[in-house]
Amino acid sequence: MPDLAASLALLTTPAILFFFVGALAAFARSDLAIPEPVGKAVSLYLMLCIGFKGGVEARAAGLDGGFLTAAGLGIGLSALLPLLALAVLRRLPGLDRATACALAATYGSVSVVTFAAGQDHLASVGLAPGGYMAAVLALMETPAILTALLLLNGAGRTGPVQGRAVLREVFVGAATVMLLGSFGVGLISGTAGLARLDVFVGPLFQGALCFFLLDIGLIAARRLMDGGRKLSPGVVAFALGFPLLSAIIALGLSRLAGLGAGDAALLTILAGSASYIAVPAAMRLAAPQADAGVYVTASLAITFPFNLTAGIALYTAAVQWLW
């Protein structure tokens, strides 16, 4: 039987509790605020730590077949899930094509913070995934955006100049460069490099994650209060139901492919997450007419809290049961 008590203990970790502190502060109309440059710096720091430690552990693991299998599944899921999402979203009334494509990209791409929270939780229940999963995270960010761009181009919504600008934004964006760059540094420097940066990428990481989730709690609650009126019941249902569908698909494919329990659990968590950094940056260029009050709020104020409070624990329990 799955260790449900250990999975649900995720809710009482300091990082998750700080998320609730931020949300409660926003709902109480507190003037608590984290300056945007500080939030961005902390976000980049988290990605540096995730990528670097992943590179170190990937070198130790030797980039074996587990990495290649997980990477293949991750890229495939990211590229194809937006097609399934758009097929569902077309049935919802009141959504224009640009907003629907932006939502599809959002739920095909992934969340770095959900990855970090999931990775930490899996380690605490004895399902630590391979370090190379940080590279899988980086590889899963962009295919969904490219699929969305193809959908938009097919509808004549973006010109070639805009398309090239967005493609450049995707491949040289801060998140992609930081994740892949720090992964490469960790891969090259190995355990010797980790020894030099042990405190920087180890104990300090947890404190930074708490600070970042406090900021995310503030942003999510305030956007929910400001933009919640734009979310139809159908979009809310999609923001809760589609991550579960994506996770089920990832879970089944992971089982068929023979992934280890830790890798399968983290891939499932990633498939059930939604982007609120990379996709909005790209969609701002590709589809300025898309309603950010819908696709950003759905990801940040509905899916992200759901995953932190229930999704990660649920996916972990499912893997524990199946494996």
Give one DSSP letter per residue of 107-160, joined into a string: TTS--HHHHHHHHHHHHHTT-PPPTTHHHHHHHHHHHHHHHHHHHHHHTT-S-H
Residue 234 lies in a domain: yes
Residue 103 lies in a domain: yes
Tell me which residue has tokens 């962009």: 142
Contact between 295 and 99 (Cβ < 8 Å) = yes
pLDDT digits (tens, 9 = 90+) for 98-143: 889 999 999 999 998 899 889 888 988 889 898 889 888 888 888 8
- Residue at 266: amino acid letter: L
Q: By residue range, what is the domain housing residue 297?
A: 4-21+34-44+64-129+140-174+203-322
Residue 265 lies in a domain: yes
Residue 211 lies in a domain: yes
Residue 183 lies in a domain: no
Residue 213 lies in a domain: yes
Residue 78 lies in a domain: yes
Residue 179 lies in a domain: no
Q: How many domains does the chain have?
A: 1
Residue 103 belongs to domain with CATH number: 1.20.1530
pLDDT digits (tens, 9 = 90+) for 34-69: 898 888 888 888 888 888 888 887 787 776 788 889
Q: What is the pTM of this model?
A: 0.79
